[in-house]
Amino acid sequence: MTQLPRRAIVRSAKLASLPLGVAGRAALGAGKRLGGKPAEAVAAELQARTAEQLFTVLGELKGGAMKVGQALSVLEAAMPEELAGPYRATLTKLQDSAPSLPTATVHEVLTRELGNRWRTKFALFEDQPTAAASVGQVHHAIWKDGREVAVKIQYPGAGDALVGDFRRLSQATRALASWIPGLDLGPVLAELVARVQEELDYELEADRQRRFGEAFDCDAHVFVPAVVHQRGAVIITEWMGGTPLSRIIAEGSDAERSQAATRYLEFLVSGPQQARLLHADPHPGNFRLLDDGRLGVLDFGAVAPLPQGLPGAIGRLVSLALRGEAEPLLDGLRTEGFVLPSQELDPDRVLRLVTPFLEALRVPTYTFRRAWLREVTTALQDPRGEQWRTGIRMNLPPEYLLIHRVWAGGIGVLCQLEGAVPASRILGEWLPEADFPAPESTA
């Protein structure tokens, strides 16, 4: 059976080709400049070729390498524009597409999981995939009862590939930083690897999708496709149309951006309260804006149980910060483990650290923008500044790690959408124990 390139030496060589390719193209570019070609034209050509190689290599490897590419596509809004621009379109492609498996391999998987007569289960099955991502690819089909369905097929060898890629990518973090400067991949890799085994379990994914579906049944703002059938490496769900958020990011109208951003933020904070589950893969390829205005949600492989919903401490701490109560805020952060007992911090400095993230909650509607995210990210990473010196002395408790990653990724997507969002209303409604002051008028 045709599989992902599984041998470690083959996959390592492909990953190594990324920084090596950059070096080779840089040498070629130097030659072109010596030959009289303008430096700006050479730089643009090198960046375009590097971006294309990024998509090809990560897409072919799929597995962990492509999962990291998808994570980077969410984070690109925080990168300086001169660095993010050349890679934006290529990283966006990694959100919901990649080079597909051969048709013969697809048929072999279906035969193994659904039996030799698998075709009788479908009135129609399209061999060309409609989407291909890190763990599986999706085919459009008509189920035997006439329902339009999506058939997700896990790549053969995906498990070994994911585990191996994360190990090699962790070792190669510094080299990878040479082709996407300014990003620390270490925390991203550490969190993603914790969810690898769960994403490979399609039975578990089907169960979680059913739970989300029950929680949002007949919801006015969110649609979760029903699970039609699941067996082994195949999961079949209702087909869902709509416009991918990645397309709205690229070419959506102001109204579409605002509607998509509002529904997206609502889902991120209401999901844990309604389903007692956290959808932990916030990249735009997993979401669609449906024609009726609802947010369609896909891919429930990366989901974390939150039996009590979001911690009430989040609502309390945000409320204290909004009211400017510095000392109670610091006390609360200590209680939750964000400040260790050994650390002595100035309450006012802690309040100033979090203040930039409160802008969206001080007004009735707020437009998240890339420029804002770059500004706050730059301040947090500047070792000469007060924010860095304060932030470096704080702690991230393990129980908040996944919530933090999902919300950080969610803010990145909101900054790509750049739509007007009633963030104060949404978070005030869904965060337990939130008691926000009334937002300032924007009139």
Higher local confidence (pLDDT), 216 or 185: 216
pLDDT of 3 higher than 80: no
Higher local confidence (pLDDT), 183 or 16: 16
Mean pLDDT of 206-228: 97
Buried b (16+ CB within 10 A) or exposed e, 105-134: bbeebbebbbeeebeebbeebeeebbbbbb
Higher local confidence (pLDDT), 401 or 355: 355
pLDDT for the residue 164: 62
pLDDT for the residue 179: 39
Q: Strand ranges (DSSP E) for 209-321? A: 222-223, 227-231, 234-238, 243-244, 277-279, 287-289, 295-297, 303-305
pLDDT for the residue 59: 47
pLDDT for the residue 22: 39
Higher local confidence (pLDDT), 116 or 406: 116
- Percentage with pLDDT > 90 across the chain: 50
Residue 115: partners with Cβ closer than 8 Å, 6 or more residues away: none
What does pLDDT average to over the chain?
Answer: 79
pLDDT for the residue 25: 38
What class is the 103-158+197-238 domain? alpha beta
pLDDT of 365 higher than 80: yes
Mean pLDDT of 91-100: 55
pLDDT in tens, 392-410: 888 888 788 889 888 988 9
Domain locations along the chain: 8-98+159-196, 103-158+197-238, 312-430
